[in-house]
């Protein structure tokens, strides 16, 4: 039935499957009929969408170059609605008598624009903010308008911090001080007495439950933050003593970020709700139960309890929490509190997409080597050649070991001057062809071969890309976190190459060689051949949480250009805000260079070169122009 030429035809469906976009995209990302990645304004089926390639050309026409970080307003808006609607639906269905009030933890992405949009889009749900430091509190106060929303103050608090929080209470904000340790109580009570303002006190507790995952050291008995049960009781007694127990209104815990397993979430809620009920029985007014963050993002789309995934949906998260709270409180006749969660990662992860171009490719190709060796070839090269000739399905492990052995021996001989550079180069060609051959045979074998696991990445192409891992996706380097990465166009073509990605820092850690997969972690990423001179663009997705402020200036690559995009209902888009990335002068001034002084010094160097007869006066003008325009330029590779 099938026409032979159609059999191998590559389709958008095949790209969807290969890159898993439907699994991790949460309805926000898809592939168009033209084979380009589309961003959808919401999760709804018929929502407006724009092609990332259209945005690339729009951004470039305006004079901004790659790499560029795009922030999609619509996705932030949609994620806030989704979380609030999911809690509200679960509460309605289970007949919960309290309410949900989400807060956004500022530390997850503190950019002014992000906080401003959270407060704007959050207003219809009274979605508030969580702060963990004085600068974050001050940032929050400058943007918060909604007096129904919560403002949760975690972290170490000095007098100044507490005074500001108390003034917020006086101005009508629902501002809570969450005690991280017992000694904070004195200073809170002292300042509130001095200023004559009643504080809203919350207590952070250590749970005995500890969850699995990357970032979960915040949970467990020995976690560094929060009060243990005896400190909790002591605090209650001290509040009673001072006649201030009526200020105790909130109980908080934070299990850690990215909790992949719903069972850990449930058991923490159950334990904390028991504590909550006890505090009510002690006579505290309470009213708020704050379950912290932890709602995970399914970065690899596998829907499992793997660290980069989660084995539950947002809807399940919400209904499991509501159900667990009710199951404890209804047996002890305690009224349902306002449930607060501090979801950061899941609120902002989808919002940002990093786009970058490929600068160059180092392809792995099979070398041209002769069928037979010269008789005068050295013994070791002959041995290596025999290994190459003898590879078959049964002996690949043995051939691999032998090839390594002979290659090392030849390298050793070279060190001792016993073979020349030309022969050594020839032997390396034989070696790499051998490895390539072994990798091909290995594909036919189903059983795992642990020694040969990294073979694919060893013979992968290297795609050199215009971005810095350290600046833009630091968690990929620091804690091996996986982010979905894929081409944003040419998705109707078969990607024939297997690649690893190198950034432009030239640091051996500046690479990505672990990629998402539903069943495992991939060591290479399928990419398209570079066509002569054509641009090729990749996107790193789900990078909105934690990456921006953790990024650093490794090799002095600075902030990338940032463009904020609003998708309109008719499928057009507006670039709402453009922030030019750091210039070379900017990043140098961060490390205490003074760009003006640098120009003066370099001018002197050029003047001296004139004196020494190395350059002409007119050269000096050209050289200074190049130096000064270099200072003004972007830190990344410019076209």
Which residues are part of the catalytic machinery?
506
The secondary element (H helix, E strand) that includes residue 170 is helix 159-170
State the binding string over 283-302 for ligand PLP (x if CB under 6 A, else -): ---------xxxx-------
Count the residues of the shown chain that bind ligand PLP, applying the rule CB under 6 A.
16
Residue from 336, 345, 490, 511 in contact with ligand PLP (CB under 6 A): 345
User: What sign results for the dihedral spanned by CA atoms 54, 467, 359, 598?
Assistant: positive
Among 126, 134, 249, 254, binds ligand PLP (CB under 6 A): 254
Identify which of residues 293 and 581 has a Cβ nearer to ligand PLP in the complex: 293
114 vs 459 by CB, closer to ligand PLP: 114
In this chain, which residue has its C-beta nearest to ligand PLP? 293
Q: Nearest distance from residue 386's CB to ligand PLP, in Å?
A: 56
Binding residues for ligand PLP restricted to 73-112, rule: CB under 6 A: 105, 107-108
Question: Among candidates 178, 37, 117, 134, which has minimal Cα distance to 348?
Answer: 117
Q: How far apart are CB 293 and ligand PLP at their closest, in Å?
A: 2
Per-residue binding string, ligand PLP, 315-344, x by CB under 6 A, is: ---------------------------xxx
Nearest-CA neighbor of 562 among 186, 114, 139, 90?
114
Per-residue exposure over 322-342, b if at least 16 CB sit within 10 Å of its own CB, e if not: bebbbebbeeeebebbbbbbb
> Of 66 and 153, which has the nearer Cβ to ligand PLP?
153
Q: How many CB atoms lie within 10 A of CB 542?
A: 29
**In contact, 177 and 162? CB cutoff 8 Å:** yes
For ligand PLP, the binding residues in 126-145 under the rule CB under 6 A are: 130
The structure tokens listed for 421 are 């550079």
**Of 432 and 546, CB closest to ligand PLP:** 546
Choose one: 139-147, 253-261, 552-560, 562-570; the region binding ligand PLP (CB under 6 A). Answer: 253-261
Q: What single-letter DSSP state applies at residue 282?
A: T
As to burial, measured by CB atoms within 10 angstroms (0-12 exposed, 13-18 middle, 19+ buried), residue 120 is middle
Residues 140-199 that bind ligand PLP (CB under 6 A): 154
C-beta separation of 159 from 184 below 8 A: no
* C-alpha to C-alpha distance for 393 and 444, rounded to whole angstroms: 8
Smallest gap, in angstroms, from Cβ of residue 341 to ligand PLP? 8
What is the Cα–Cα distance from 187 to 537, expressed in whole angstroms? 54
What are the E-state strand segments in 303-351? 338-341
Nearer to ligand PLP, 30 or 181 (CB): 181
Q: Minimum distance between the CB of residue 79 and ligand PLP, rounded to whole angstroms?
A: 12
Total Cβ atoms within 10 A of residue 320: 17
- Least CB distance from residue 225 to ligand PLP, whole Å? 8
Burial class (CB within 10 angstroms; exposed 0-12, middle 13-18, buried 19+) of 167: middle
Shorter beta-carbon distance to ligand PLP: residue 154 or 466: 154
Shortest Å, Cβ 180 to ligand PLP: 9
Phi (first) and psi of residue 483, to 5 degrees? -125, 145
Q: Which of residues 352-391 bind ligand PLP (CB under 6 A)?
A: none
Can you list the positions of beta strands (E) in 95-192? 100-105, 128-131, 150-153, 174-179
Q: Shortest approach of ligand PLP to residue 105 CB, angstroms? A: 4
For residues 503 and 548, which CB has a smaller minimum distance to ligand PLP in the complex?
A: 548
Residues that bind ligand PLP (CB under 6 A): 105, 107-108, 130, 154, 254, 257-258, 292-295, 342-345
């Amino acid at each position: 039935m099938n026409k032979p030429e159609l059999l191998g035809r590559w389709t958008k469906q095949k790209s969807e499957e290969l890159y898993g976009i439907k699994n991790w995209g949460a309805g926000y990302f898809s592939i168009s009929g033209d084979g380009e990645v589309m961003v959808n304004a919401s999760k709804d089926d018929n929502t407006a969408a724009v092609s990332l390639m259209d945005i690339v050309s729009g951004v470039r026409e305006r004079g901004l170059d790659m790499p560029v970080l795009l922030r999609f307003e619509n996705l932030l808006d949609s994620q806030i609605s989704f979380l609030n609607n999911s809690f509200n639906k679960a509460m309605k269905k289970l007949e919960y008598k309290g309410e949900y009030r989400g807060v956004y933890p500022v530390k997850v992405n503190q950019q002014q624009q992000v906080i401003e949009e959270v407060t704007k889009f959050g207003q219809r749900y009274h979605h508030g903010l969580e702060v963990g430091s004085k600068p974050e509190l001050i940032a929050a106060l400058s943007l918060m308008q909604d007096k129904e929303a919560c403002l949760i103050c975690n972290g170490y608090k000095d007098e100044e911090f507490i005074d500001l929080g108390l003034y917020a209470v006086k101005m009508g904000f629902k501002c809570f001080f969450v005690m991280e340790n017992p000694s904070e109580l004195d200073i809170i009570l002292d300042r509130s007495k001095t200023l004559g303002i009643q504080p809203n006190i919350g207590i952070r507790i250590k749970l005995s439950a500890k969850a699995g995952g990357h970032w979960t050291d915040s949970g467990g008995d020995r976690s560094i933050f929060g009060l243990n049960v005896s400190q909790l009781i002591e605090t209650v007694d001290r509040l009673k003593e001072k006649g201030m127990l009526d200020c105790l209104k909130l109980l908080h815990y934070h299990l850690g970020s990215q909790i992949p397993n719903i069972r850990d979430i449930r058991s923490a809620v159950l334990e904390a709700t028991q504590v909550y009920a006890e505090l009510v029985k002690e006579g505290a007014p309470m009213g708020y139960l704050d379950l912290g963050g932890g709602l995970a993002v399914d970065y690899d789309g596998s829907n499992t309890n793997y660290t980069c995934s989660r084995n539950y949906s947002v809807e399940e998260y919400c209904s499991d929490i509501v159900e667990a709270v009710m199951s404890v409180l209804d047996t002890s006749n305690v009224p349902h509190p306002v449930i607060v969660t501090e979801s950061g990662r899941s609120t902002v992860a989808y919002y940002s997409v990093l786009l970058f171009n490929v600068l160059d490719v180092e392809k792995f190709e099979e070398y041209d080597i002769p069928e037979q060796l010269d008789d005068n070839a050295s013994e070791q090269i002959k041995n290596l050649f025999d290994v190459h000739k003898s590879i078959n399905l049964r002996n690949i492990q043995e051939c691999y070991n032998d090839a390594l052995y002979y290659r090392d021996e030849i390298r050793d001989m070279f060190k001792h001057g016993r073979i020349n550079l030309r022969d050594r180069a020839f032997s390396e060609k034989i070696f790499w062809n051998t490895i390539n051959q072994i990798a091909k045979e290995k594909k036919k074998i189903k059983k795992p071969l642990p020694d040969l696991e990294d073979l694919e990445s060893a013979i992968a192409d290297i795609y050199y890309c215009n971005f810095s891992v350290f600046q833009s996706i630091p968690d990929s380097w620091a804690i091996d976190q996986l982010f979905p990465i894929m081409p944003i166009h040419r998705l109707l073509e078969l990607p024939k190459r297997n690649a690893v990605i190198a950034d432009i820092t030239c640091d051996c850690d500046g690479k990505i060689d672990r990629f998402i997969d539903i069943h495992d972690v991939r060591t290479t990423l399928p990419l398209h051949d570079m066509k002569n001179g054509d641009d090729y663009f990749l996107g790193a997705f789900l990078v909105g949480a934690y990456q921006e402020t953790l990024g650093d200036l490794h090799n002095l690559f600075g902030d990338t250009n940032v463009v904020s995009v609003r998708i309109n209902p008719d499928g057009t888009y507006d670039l709402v805000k453009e922030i030019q990335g750091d210039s070379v002068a900017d990043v140098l001034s961060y490390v205490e260079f003074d760009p003006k002084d640098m120009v003066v010094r370099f001018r002197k160097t050029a003047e001296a070169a004139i004196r020494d007869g190395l350059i002409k006066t007119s050269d000096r003008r050209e050289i200074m122009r190049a130096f000064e325009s270099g200072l003004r330029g972007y830190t990344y590779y410019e076209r």
